[in-house]
Amino acid sequence: MGGESLVHSRVHFVAPLSFFIVVLFQLLSKWLDRLKKNGSRNTGEAELRSEIKRLLKEAGTFSEPSTFAQAAKLRRLAAAKEKELAKCLELQKREINLSYELYGKVLFVSKAVIYISWVFWFWRSPIAIVPKQLVQPFGRLISWGAGGELSGHVMVGIIPWLILSTRVSKYVCRAIEF
């Protein structure tokens, strides 16, 4: 009976903690993807855009034949500013992609290290214990790597738990949708 109570006390701590960490990794991944997608706007970009709009608006006001040269000059200046803006945006996009790729790789490696360490640490230990009736047709599959049954309960192994936690965390992140 002493071994069974040790298993139950350990299971109560490990299962929610591992689920919370899996959800946290999923949220961080979504947050990083959203930051990468949205990018960041700097003040120089906004200034260039307003300058281009002002130049084109000013060039549009010159409609007389005598002011055609002035309007053409302003349009050329606006075109040069647009090229400068495009170059600035391309450089900024390249920098953002490089930095987010690095963060994404760090996140992936840390997730892999934690998952692999959990698999080695909890390979023959149950992560959760659920009544046999709840997982009736899938009992052996869910208990893979944790043993089998314990007095009418199924012991959940680490690999099925990680797979289940990952799937559920994806639904949780969709529901949160920050």
The predicted-structure confidence for 54-85, as pLDDT tens digits, reads as follows: 888 887 787 777 778 888 888 888 888 888 88
Q: Which parts of the chain have pLDDT scores under 70?
A: 1-12, 39-43, 139-140, 143, 145-150, 178
The whole-model pTM stands at 0.64
What's the pLDDT score for residue 61?
A: 81
Asked if 82 contacts 52 with a C-beta cutoff of 8 angstroms, the reply is yes
In this prediction, residue 145 carries a pLDDT of 63
Cα distance between residue 36 and residue 101, in whole Å: 9
CA-CA distance, 14 to 21, in Å (whole number)?
11
